[in-house]
A and B are shown apart, each in its own frame.
Chain A
Amino acid sequence: MEYDYAEIGLKAGIEIHQQLDTAEKLFCRCPTALRDTAEHTDEFSRYLRATESELGEIDRAAQEEMRLVRRFRYYTYDTVCLVEHDEEPPAPLNPEALSVCLTIAKMLAMTPIEQVHTMRKLVIDGSNTSGFQRTALVALNGTLPGDCRVETICLEEEAAQRVEDETFSLDRLGIPLVEITTAPCMHTPGDVQAVARQIGMVLRSTGKVKRGLGTIRQDVNVSIRDGARVEIKGVQELDLIAEVVRREVQRQVGLLGIRDELRARGASVDPAVTDVTDLFAETQSAILKKAKNILAVCLPGFAGLIGREIQPGRRLGSEMADYAKKCGVGGIFHTDELPAYGVTAEEVARLREHLGIGEQDAVVLVAASRQRAGCAAEQVIIRATMALDGVPEETRRMLEGGSTAYMRPLPGAARMYPETDVFPVSIGAGLWESIETPELLTDRAERFHRDLGLDEALARQMAFSERLLLFERAVAEGVRPVLAARTLLGTIRELARDGVGVAAVTDDEVIGLLQAVEAGSAAKEAIPDVLIELARTAGERARQTPEERVAAAIEAVAPAISAADLEAVVRNVVEEREEFVRERGMGALGPLMGVVMKEVRGSVDGKLVAQALKRELERRAS
């Protein structure tokens, strides 16, 4: 269902996190290479604990993460050093990364900070070995099309990749990342997606950002009137952004509806927790049977509302379960969904009777060890109390499809602490002026269409392609733009899809091959076969130049054929099919083309073959 977004007062902003394609990481000299986790050379384990900020406060999000004492495991690699291990102080801020960040800032017409200070942003979910993410505010106040604005751009280090549960992989930790934060200046789900697309285009225009799934992540901030600011982390697919916003609006509207109804009913939250373990001594429910303790929380007036859907697949009960899970329990039971899961109607009736509650009231059960169940019941009470107020401010994570689940409270300023091991960096006028801004990809696409004769779709595809630089080089070196674009976007991609290792073919070889085609020493039709041959022999005869390797590959798949040889082949083919040629006359040209091309194995350009065939047919006809 689509809302009247102006009516409900939707305000949205985004944060875009983009990995930079620099040679080295942000605070060490390691390469920014991602590894296969199977290649890890060692592993180690650590605990993290919340620390106070320099103002003497502990961040609420960090405190929440501390609820469980967790042991984190880290995979390490031969491309990782002691800095990622948190066993060595950081190196100075990577100047290449700063330069890319400033380039982006300049493209967005931002103002750089005079003296950039690296901060530690407390993150103790294990994704940083240090327990914080290093981040620096680099520039302020940029422009976007429409009346939207970029508030800040920060240069940050990427966190470690979660392998599973509490195991992380250190290859990604420390890759430079820019974080671009917009003002809450978007008012429809479509706006949000459009702004994300625009910023993504600007980022890619630098040619210095990483490509592929996971290299760019969007966080979306959403609020509606009377709702609350909710930050949804880690939306990876651009096409899902609008849906995520739509569903968050739906959730906030739903929660406000529940609030109103709770208030109308005079609902409340009973702060007392009752131990009901004995009531379920004979239960057939597998989960309750194996639990040491079963605790009940009474929610007078909540009946029917805990089970009400607020997002596809999500209910108020799911929100309570998210909070409870912070204590290490698997989930909760609530009376809106019982009897079910092996809990019988009799058991529910006995529970209600034991607690002395009526039809309008709901009960939430948590089952675990005494400590975990107690903690979970406490969390259920906290979340239920919030339901009386409407929408809590939260950080949430995206689930498949675009619904979301609770992650932690919104972090405050108390999670920022100066990174004392990194000196501040001054951005003087000289440095700022020396930053050159690249052509926007959209402008480039237009230029390819206008000046190079590519059709609009191909021009755009080429401009946004990872092979853009190779394309520009090919054109500069005399290859026709259409041939270059079709080879790079079509042929190579198709071969890769068919499992040919074209990635091993070097840029120089691709250019050499295209030039050979332009010079007439190979036929356009032979390009796929020559590429396959180059891929097959990649790494062999390392001492050959690219030109020599290309020539050898052409020779192997399509030996050179002289004009006289071609004439002979054509004459043979025609003679062998004399009857057919007599019947069809010049109409035989089309069908015979394929036969001749096969004979010469693509060594001769189709145009030359057609000419030779035409001459031979005309000769015979005359």
Chain B
Amino acid sequence: MTEALESGDRVRCTHGGVSMTGTYITDRDGMAVVKLDTGYNIGVSPGAVHLLERPAPQPAATPVVVQNPELPELAIISTGGTIASRVDYRTGAVTSQFSASDILRAIPELGDIARYRSRQLASILSENMRPSIWQELARSIHAEIESGASGVIVTHGTDTMAYSAAAVSFMVKSPVPIVFVGSQRSADRPSSDNAMNALCSAAVATGDLGEVAVVMHDTTSDDRCAVHRATKVRKMHTSRRDAFASIGMPPIGYVDYPSLEVSLSGEAVRRGTHDLELADDLEERCGLLHFVPGMPPEILDTFEGYAGLVLSGTGLGHVRTEWIPRLSELIAGGTTVVMTSQCLHGRVCDRVYDTGRDLLGIGVIEGEDMLPEAALVKLMWVLAREDDPGTVRALMQENLRGEIRRGSR
């Protein structure tokens, strides 16, 4: 019987001696899921469900979004993620589906801050991101700024948002703010953090910032967003609203909510500091390896032929002594190896202990106080532009986009 049913059909189902009407939703684990007229969904045997009528499909209402021509124009580039998601009847799970204009419809207050043009670059969960999409994203952002956007908002799933933001900050030099934003609690719930994060990001994108940033909740309350530098931010919690944290430095600004007042720190790069510039080449043959005690040297065979490898080492920047010969071969074979620390906080220093000195001896580059992920995308970007090992080393140890700081905290 269910094969004949389609989502939205009016049906009658009989169960427990009662006959009820409802709407057929989907098939789940061999059960017919029916939304009863009370709003409850139940799963019943397919044989108990009978078609009453198939309503004619209702054309979706096309909302008229009235934009205020007096306001600055922002570009919203959506890549997916929970800032724009709704339930999928196929799996019953939340997937990203809304376009950028749906975001405007869901958060009308955005219209008081700016005008918007929107572009849907992708509609993917952020774990499905890859360097080629980072590049497309960089080109889209560049194009939007070139055609006059006074700021860019990128909606992104939170899992890999920090990678994308860091990648864009190397590929695009911008006179205007480029703001990454997402939500930790899905947009289909009344308590979602999507609206506040989006409003804060619009406030930042129309403000005085001149670099790539991530704007997300600063606390569990709906009281303030933090503005994080793209190369110094990390997702530090699986689910909390305030999952994002600046590592090794304070946030470069805050946005109060609901006043949407933006305050930037002295360190934040200001609007107009840089000219627009696109450098979108990336060397994709780069990897990041998290060392754990006892990890065999053979694991390094995987990276044979890679142009670059970032190690996330222990403490000051160590891997086991038995790795030295194999690492040495990799480097001799042309792989650039950069050491970072799984401590995340603090600077790598391979001059203190023997293993560290040995690592330096074979040509491992100390990654200063770079986050492992930021070091990875930086290495991709540097290796796409330079092949001279000396220049590569110098660039990896030079602060290009705020990823390295002179002093540690």
Residues of A near any B CB (own CB < 8 A): 44-51, 53-56, 62, 69, 71, 82, 85-89, 110-117, 119-122, 124, 129-132, 135-137, 139-141, 152, 154, 412-418, 420, 424, 426
Specify which chain A residues have a CB less than 8 angstroms from the CB of B221 in the assembled complex: 44-46
The answer to whether B94 and A119 touch across the interface, beta carbons within 8 angstroms, is no
Identity of the chain B residue whose Cβ is nearest the Cβ of A140 in the assembled complex: B16
The answer to whether A417 and B42 touch across the interface, beta carbons within 8 angstroms, is no
Specify which chain A residues have a CB less than 8 angstroms from the CB of B239 in the assembled complex: 82, 87-89
The answer to whether B220 and A51 touch across the interface, beta carbons within 8 angstroms, is no
Determine the distance from Cα of A303 to Cα of B220 in the docked complex, in whole angstroms. Answer: 52
Determine the distance from Cα of A136 to Cα of B36 in the docked complex, in whole angstroms. Answer: 12
The answer to whether A141 and B41 touch across the interface, beta carbons within 8 angstroms, is no
The answer to whether B189 and A116 touch across the interface, beta carbons within 8 angstroms, is no
The answer to whether B189 and A130 touch across the interface, beta carbons within 8 angstroms, is yes
Specify which chain A residues have a CB less than 8 angstroms from the CB of B190 in the assembled complex: 48-51, 62, 122, 124, 130-132
Interface residues on B, range: 35 or more
The answer to whether B15 and A137 touch across the interface, beta carbons within 8 angstroms, is no
The answer to whether B40 and A137 touch across the interface, beta carbons within 8 angstroms, is yes
Stretch at the interface among B26-34, B205-213, B225-233, B280-288: B26-34
- Of B23, B184, B192, chain A has the most CB atoms within 10 Å of the CB of B192
Specify which chain A residues have a CB less than 8 angstroms from the CB of B189 in the assembled complex: 51, 86, 120, 130-132
Specify which chain B residues have a CB less than 8 angstroms from the CB of A412 in the assembled complex: 39
Specify which chain B residues have a CB less than 8 angstroms from the CB of A426 in the assembled complex: 29, 31, 43
Give which listed residue, B39, B87, B191, B220, contacts A415 with CB less than 8 A: B39
The answer to whether A115 and B28 touch across the interface, beta carbons within 8 angstroms, is yes
B44 within 8 A of A: yes
Specify which chain B residues have a CB less than 8 angstroms from the CB of A120 in the assembled complex: 189
Interface string of B256-278 (1 = CB under 8 A from A): 00100000000000000000000
Tally of A-B Cβ pairs under 8 angstroms: 145
**A529 smallest CB distance to B (angstroms):** 52
The answer to whether A86 and B185 touch across the interface, beta carbons within 8 angstroms, is yes
Determine the distance from Cα of A44 to Cα of B240 in the docked complex, in whole angstroms. Answer: 13
The answer to whether B220 and A417 touch across the interface, beta carbons within 8 angstroms, is no
The answer to whether A117 and B196 touch across the interface, beta carbons within 8 angstroms, is no
**B242 smallest CB distance to A (angstroms):** 9
- Of B106, B188, B258, chain A has the most CB atoms within 10 Å of the CB of B188
The answer to whether A130 and B191 touch across the interface, beta carbons within 8 angstroms, is yes
Specify which chain B residues have a CB less than 8 angstroms from the CB of A44 in the assembled complex: 219-221
Specify which chain B residues have a CB less than 8 angstroms from the CB of A56 in the assembled complex: 60
Identity of the chain B residue whose Cβ is nearest the Cβ of A142 in the assembled complex: B16
Specify which chain A residues have a CB less than 8 angstroms from the CB of B347 in the assembled complex: none
Identity of the chain A residue whose Cβ is nearest the Cβ of B237 in the assembled complex: A87
The answer to whether B29 and A119 touch across the interface, beta carbons within 8 angstroms, is no
Give which listed residue, A47, A51, A89, A114, contacts B222 with CB less than 8 A: A47
Interface string of B178-193 (1 = CB under 8 A from A): 0000001111111110
Specify which chain A residues have a CB less than 8 angstroms from the CB of B241 in the assembled complex: 87
CB within 8 Å of A: which B48-101 residues: 60, 86-87, 89, 92-94
Specify which chain B residues have a CB less than 8 angstroms from the CB of A154 in the assembled complex: 40
Identity of the chain A residue whose Cβ is nearest the Cβ of B238 in the assembled complex: A88
The answer to whether A119 and B40 touch across the interface, beta carbons within 8 angstroms, is yes
10 A-B pairs with least C-beta separation: A131-B190, A115-B43, A111-B16, A416-B39, A413-B39, A117-B41, A137-B40, A140-B16, A44-B221, A48-B190
Identity of the chain A residue whose Cβ is nearest the Cβ of B239 in the assembled complex: A88
Specify which chain A residues have a CB less than 8 angstroms from the CB of B4 in the assembled complex: none
The answer to whether A114 and B31 touch across the interface, beta carbons within 8 angstroms, is yes
B147 within 8 A of A: no
The answer to whether A111 and B17 touch across the interface, beta carbons within 8 angstroms, is yes
Determine the distance from Cα of A243 to Cα of B293 in the docked complex, in whole angstroms. Answer: 73
The answer to whether B42 and A116 touch across the interface, beta carbons within 8 angstroms, is yes
The answer to whether B35 and A416 touch across the interface, beta carbons within 8 angstroms, is yes
Determine the distance from Cα of A287 to Cα of B290 in the docked complex, in whole angstroms. Answer: 68
Determine the distance from Cα of A589 to Cα of B17 in the docked complex, in whole angstroms. Answer: 72
Specify which chain A residues have a CB less than 8 angstroms from the CB of B16 in the assembled complex: 110-112, 139-141
Determine the distance from Cα of A130 to Cα of B222 in the docked complex, in whole angstroms. Answer: 13
The answer to whether B44 and A129 touch across the interface, beta carbons within 8 angstroms, is no
The answer to whether B15 and A420 touch across the interface, beta carbons within 8 angstroms, is no
Given contacts A44-B221, A119-B40, contact A417 B87 (CB under 8 A): yes
B352 within 8 A of A: no
B136 within 8 A of A: no
Specify which chain B residues have a CB less than 8 angstroms from the CB of A111 in the assembled complex: 15-18
Specify which chain B residues have a CB less than 8 angstroms from the CB of A116 in the assembled complex: 42-43
The answer to whether A424 and B87 touch across the interface, beta carbons within 8 angstroms, is no
Specify which chain A residues have a CB less than 8 angstroms from the CB of B258 in the assembled complex: 47, 69
Determine the distance from Cα of A113 to Cα of B14 in the docked complex, in whole angstroms. Answer: 11
8 A-B pairs whose Cβ atoms sit less than 8 Å apart in the complex: A47-B258, A110-B16, A113-B44, A152-B38, A413-B35, A416-B39, A426-B31, A426-B43
B223 within 8 A of A: yes
Given A49-B195, A51-B187: 12 more A-B contacts, CB < 8 Å:
A46-B222, A50-B190, A86-B191, A88-B240, A89-B239, A111-B17, A114-B42, A131-B189, A152-B38, A416-B35, A426-B29, A426-B43
Identity of the chain A residue whose Cβ is nearest the Cβ of B186 in the assembled complex: A420
B120 within 8 A of A: no
The answer to whether A137 and B42 touch across the interface, beta carbons within 8 angstroms, is yes
Identity of the chain A residue whose Cβ is nearest the Cβ of B40 in the assembled complex: A137
Given contacts A114-B31, A115-B28, contact A129 B41 (CB under 8 A): no
Specify which chain B residues have a CB less than 8 angstroms from the CB of A418 in the assembled complex: 41, 87, 92
The answer to whether B39 and A82 touch across the interface, beta carbons within 8 angstroms, is no
**A96 smallest CB distance to B (angstroms):** 22
Determine the distance from Cα of A116 to Cα of B33 in the docked complex, in whole angstroms. Answer: 10
Identity of the chain A residue whose Cβ is nearest the Cβ of B37 in the assembled complex: A413
Given contacts A115-B31, A122-B190, A413-B38, contact A54 B44 (CB under 8 A): no
The answer to whether B15 and A114 touch across the interface, beta carbons within 8 angstroms, is yes
Give which listed residue, B23, B185, B222, contacts A71 with CB less than 8 A: B222
Specify which chain B residues have a CB less than 8 angstroms from the CB of A417 in the assembled complex: 87, 188
Determine the distance from Cα of A456 to Cα of B241 in the docked complex, in whole angstroms. Answer: 59
Given contacts A131-B190, A416-B40, A424-B29, contact A82 B195 (CB under 8 A): no
**A115 smallest CB distance to B (angstroms):** 3
Specify which chain B residues have a CB less than 8 angstroms from the CB of A45 in the assembled complex: 221-223
The answer to whether A114 and B44 touch across the interface, beta carbons within 8 angstroms, is yes
Specify which chain B residues have a CB less than 8 angstroms from the CB of A414 in the assembled complex: 39
**A153 smallest CB distance to B (angstroms):** 11
**B188 smallest CB distance to A (angstroms):** 6
Determine the distance from Cα of A537 to Cα of B92 in the docked complex, in whole angstroms. Answer: 57
Given contacts A45-B221, A87-B241, A111-B16, contact A129 B191 (CB under 8 A): yes
Given contacts A140-B18, A418-B87, contact A48 B40 (CB under 8 A): no
- Of A49, A89, A110, A124, chain B has the most CB atoms within 10 Å of the CB of A49
Interface string of B369-404 (1 = CB under 8 A from A): 000000000000000000000000000000000000
Specify which chain A residues have a CB less than 8 angstroms from the CB of B220 in the assembled complex: 44, 85, 87
Specify which chain A residues have a CB less than 8 angstroms from the CB of B126 in the assembled complex: none
Determine the distance from Cα of A412 to Cα of B38 in the docked complex, in whole angstroms. Answer: 7
Determine the distance from Cα of A555 to Cα of B241 in the docked complex, in whole angstroms. Answer: 60
- Of A54, A136, A417, chain B has the most CB atoms within 10 Å of the CB of A54
Determine the distance from Cα of A416 to Cα of B43 in the docked complex, in whole angstroms. Answer: 15
Identity of the chain A residue whose Cβ is nearest the Cβ of B22 in the assembled complex: A413
Identity of the chain A residue whose Cβ is nearest the Cβ of B241 in the assembled complex: A87
B160 within 8 A of A: no
**B56 smallest CB distance to A (angstroms):** 15
Given contacts A48-B191, A420-B87, contact A140 B40 (CB under 8 A): no
B355 within 8 A of A: no
The answer to whether B33 and A117 touch across the interface, beta carbons within 8 angstroms, is yes
Given contacts A114-B44, A132-B189, contact A82 B15 (CB under 8 A): no
B45 within 8 A of A: yes
Determine the distance from Cα of A110 to Cα of B17 in the docked complex, in whole angstroms. Answer: 10
Determine the distance from Cα of A47 to Cα of B219 in the docked complex, in whole angstroms. Answer: 14
Determine the distance from Cα of A135 to Cα of B39 in the docked complex, in whole angstroms. Answer: 11
Given contacts A115-B31, A416-B39, contact A54 B86 (CB under 8 A): yes
Specify which chain A residues have a CB less than 8 angstroms from the CB of B219 in the assembled complex: 44
Specify which chain A residues have a CB less than 8 angstroms from the CB of B89 in the assembled complex: 54
Determine the distance from Cα of A117 to Cα of B40 in the docked complex, in whole angstroms. Answer: 8
Determine the distance from Cα of A87 to Cα of B185 in the docked complex, in whole angstroms. Answer: 7
